[in-house]
Structure 1
Amino acid sequence: MALSFFWNLLTTSPADRRRAEWGDGDRAWAPARDAASRRLQINHYDYLTQVARVAELTGFDGLVIPDEPDGEEPWIVTGTLLRETRRLELVTAVAPGSASGVYHAKMASSVQRFSGDRQGWLIDGVRGLSAGDPVVPQDSPVRTGELLTLLEGLWGDGPFDQDGEHFIVEKGGLGGLVKGRRRPPVWLRQSEAPGADLLAHAEVLLLDEARPVDALADLIADARRANPSLRIAALLPLLTRAEERDVAAETAYLAPSPSTLVGTYDTVTENLRGFAAAGLDIAVLSAPDQVREVHIAGEQIIGRFRAVANAA
């Protein structure tokens, strides 16, 4: 019953933005400033680096770096954290309309060479006009399919031609830039399984939230009919403590969403075993106050899950 564990690295949670330069300066944890330069000695990227290092040390397999409207740019976060970690896979949100497909592919080739093939791509939905994206939702699958076809074509021996609605390439190719390099595995983030055409390009289907075990098993079966090698991941917000009374107190204070995994360490671990038995391959955990919670999740949840799996 193999289950991989990733952490959904958010950059906009209020509990996390009180750290580093996002603090308003009147708290004990506000950053120190150099008296001469007035420059911050630490910033929010130092905090994100701490989260990544804790995730690596406590057994996580990787990080998912989403594209948040008010958050940090995923490619910049990725580049920063690849230098600060040794083995984590970083799945970077890629907005298909934010640049040319060739430019996206070339950036990926550089990141893979720089990191030892540790980047994946996360393709989310349409960003909307507020982000400068004019494509309407019904046209998004076509654009995504063209981008992923382009990525595969440029990663080949070339030359590659494409005459699409959104991306046009003539005699393209990345040549020696991608020789011996792994093409970034593609994660598609959806609330339901997308069409077979898109699934054919994907290595991972990331569900916005977990389903009841029976419904999850049915969705997985349908998706794998389109792509038998597809791996299934789910975003799983987490609220877990050692004792029931602590869980109850935190629940009353935080009011977690219905999709949140709530319970003691043993209860949450057992729930994850149920998801794995239904066919889930990757649990993407998340919680505010990330340094603390990623530590708890790694030591208490991943540790318990793998101990039981190894003993089986």
Structure 2
Amino acid sequence: MAAYPDFLVTVPTQGDGRDPLRRDRGEWQPGARRPLPPFVTDLRPGASSAFDHLAQVGRAAEIAAIGGAFVPFDSAGEESLVVAAGLLRQSRHLRVVAGFHPGIATPVYAAKFSASLQRFTGNRLGWQLDVDLDPAVARSQGDFLPGADRYARAEEFLTVAKGVWHEEGYTYEGRFYQVLAGGFQSPNSGLPFPRVYLTGTSPEALALSARHADVHLFTADQDVETGIGELAAQSAQEGRPVEYGLRLPVLARDDDEEAWAEARRLWDLAGGVGEGLPDPDPRTRLWGGFGRIAGPGASGLVGSYETVAAGLRGYLGQGVTTFVLESRPHIEETYRLGERLLPLFAKEIEHVH
């Protein structure tokens, strides 16, 4: 189990840009593309691909010594497993966690796909299973499985995927999947199984994590401390450790005043001109305005690098060791986080080593 903070950055799946409403990077909004300045002489289209921007985010994370990148499942965005494979190919050390839902494929195919990626990239792939999708999103993906059955299927999905991964001649008979004399052979056998990241605070979600997760990700809007306590008790009964993580938007600058000035600028660009800027929660210091400036999501932290680091240390004190951070625009902010925020945790890392 990790004893020091592990940081990942979130990769944009629907373009990016300095303006919250104008995502002209990554060819996501071609109509929003700014005209080229007069000194540009090569006007040929296709000089860069849609993936080039994503590759730069991954490269920024690697250069800034951030441990990993998280590509969330996004039903309306880029395909996370394709993006993850590209980022792994474009990097040497970056770990990449791909989000997907169990209805995307059979567990045998998902495991086979991942075994090849592990073999080709030095075992740097992780899985984040989105189990409890919004029903409308699930149906749009051709998945009509209801309620608690989604967790029952996820249980079988992970059981079968690990079974064929680790056991030659593997056989399984379940409600959702059947395998007869399956299992991988060399060179796809004997590899580390992808680290499994799971989410949720329902009893079904925590029970699934207790049995299968390597890392359970919370959001700041959830009762993290209570969730960790409940999951710790369940994982102890299962006789296996689970690490705890947090998905968190952040906006960090040299001082608090500069950070809030940037929040105000982004708030106005996102349509908030004339509206008062929401205050952070006086108890947790979490700011709920990220939903407007960065798209739907949880509350996050705004402030100086020291202020944000102090907020993260509060979660470290609760047992969180993995932080999946999101900050836009992703390339520039990834460098900021790696060069200015992460060094503030050098003592924690040095204490461990």
Q: TM-score, normalised by structure 2?
A: 0.80
- Deviations along 1:116-146, one digit per CA (max 9) or x if unpaired, are 1110111013341111111123211011000
Match of 2:63 in 1: 57
Match of 2:4 in 1: 2
What secondary structure, in the 3-state scheme, does the structure 2 residue paired with 1:27 have? coil
% identity of equivalent residues: 30
Asked if the contact 2:5/2:349 (under 8 Å) is kept, the reply is no
Kindly tell me: are residues 117 and 33 of structure 1, through their superposed partners in 2, closer, same or farther at Cα, counting changes over 3 Å? farther
Give, in whole Å, the separation in 2 of the partners of 1:225 and 1:231. Answer: 13
Aligned-pair CA distance for 1:191: 4.4
Letter of the 2:329 partner, please give it.
Answer: D
Give, in whole Å, the separation in 1 of the partners of 2:341 and 2:202. Answer: 27
Match of 1:204 in 2: 215
Letter of the 1:220 partner, please give it.
Answer: I
Asked if the contact 1:33/1:39 (under 8 Å) is kept, the reply is no
Give, in whole Å, the separation in 1 of the partners of 2:53 and 2:259. Answer: 26
Match of 1:242 in 2: 254
Match of 1:94 in 2: 100
Deviation beyond 6 Å, 4+ runs, structure 1: 32-35
- Deviations along 1:206-231, one digit per CA (max 9) or x if unpaired, are 113355xxx53332122122224101
Q: Specify which of 231, 251, 264 is matched with residue 243 of structure 2.
A: 231
Asked if the contact 1:232/1:281 (under 8 Å) is kept, the reply is yes
Aligned-pair CA distance for 1:185: 1.4
Q: Specify which of 93, 100, 118 is matched with residue 112 of structure 1.
A: 118
Asked if the contact 2:16/2:26 (under 8 Å) is kept, the reply is no
Aligned-pair CA distance for 1:310: 3.3
Count of aligned residue pairs for this structure pair: 306
- Deviations along 1:65-90, one digit per CA (max 9) or x if unpaired, are 11112211111101111111111111
Match of 2:313 in 1: 273
Aligned-pair CA distance for 1:15: 2.5
Match of 1:79 in 2: 85
Give, in whole Å, the separation in 1 of the partners of 2:318 and 2:310. Answer: 13
Aligned-pair CA distance for 1:47: 0.6
- Deviations along 1:237-269, one digit per CA (max 9) or x if unpaired, are 011111222122122233435721111111001
- Structure 1: 5+ residue stretches without partners: none
Aligned-pair CA distance for 1:178: 3.0
Asked if the contact 1:160/1:172 (under 8 Å) is kept, the reply is yes
2:182 pairs with 1:180: no
- Deviations along 1:99-126, one digit per CA (max 9) or x if unpaired, are 1221111101111101111101110133
Give, in whole Å, the separation in 1 of the partners of 2:36 and 2:232. Answer: 48
Give, in whole Å, the separation in 2 of the partners of 1:144 and 1:151. Answer: 10
Aligned-pair CA distance for 1:152: 1.3
Letter of the 2:257 partner, please give it.
Answer: R
Kindly tell me: are residues 191 and 29 of structure 1, through their superposed partners in 2, closer, same or farther at Cα, counting changes over 3 Å? farther
What secondary structure, in the 3-state scheme, does the structure 1 residue paired with 2:148 have? helix
Kindly tell me: are residues 278 and 45 of structure 1, through their superposed partners in 2, closer, same or farther at Cα, counting changes over 3 Å? same
Aligned-pair CA distance for 1:182: 0.6
Q: Specify which of 128, 142, 147 is matched with residue 157 of structure 2.
A: 147
- Deviations along 1:154-173, one digit per CA (max 9) or x if unpaired, are 01232111222221111111
Match of 1:252 in 2: 264
What secondary structure, in the 3-state scheme, does the structure 2 residue paired with 1:137 have? coil
Moved more, 293-302 or 172-181: 172-181
Give, in whole Å, the separation in 1 of the partners of 2:348 and 2:4. Answer: 11
Letter of the 2:224 partner, please give it.
Answer: L
Letter of the 1:196 partner, please give it.
Answer: A
Match of 1:290 in 2: 330
Give, in whole Å, the separation in 2 of the partners of 1:70 and 1:150. Answer: 28
2:34 pairs with 1:27: yes
Asked if the contact 2:16/2:25 (under 8 Å) is kept, the reply is no
Kindly tell me: are residues 26 and 145 of structure 1, through their superposed partners in 2, closer, same or farther at Cα, counting changes over 3 Å? closer
Matches within 5 A, 1:128-147: 128-147=138-157
Letter of the 2:226 partner, please give it.
Answer: D
Letter of the 1:58 partner, please give it.
Answer: A
Give, in whole Å, the separation in 1 of the partners of 2:349 and 2:182. Answer: 46
Asked if the contact 1:54/1:295 (under 8 Å) is kept, the reply is yes
Letter of the 1:95 partner, please give it.
Answer: H
Aligned-pair CA distance for 1:271: 1.1
Give, in whole Å, the separation in 2 of the partners of 1:197 and 1:90. Answer: 22
Aligned-pair CA distance for 1:196: 2.4
Kindly tell me: are residues 84 and 162 of structure 1, through their superposed partners in 2, closer, same or farther at Cα, counting changes over 3 Å? same
- Deviations along 1:38-80, one digit per CA (max 9) or x if unpaired, are 6501022111111111111112111111111221111110111
The Cα RMSD (Å) is 2.4
Asked if the contact 1:34/1:40 (under 8 Å) is kept, the reply is no
Kindly tell me: are residues 276 and 95 of structure 1, through their superposed partners in 2, closer, same or farther at Cα, counting changes over 3 Å? same
Letter of the 2:255 partner, please give it.
Answer: E
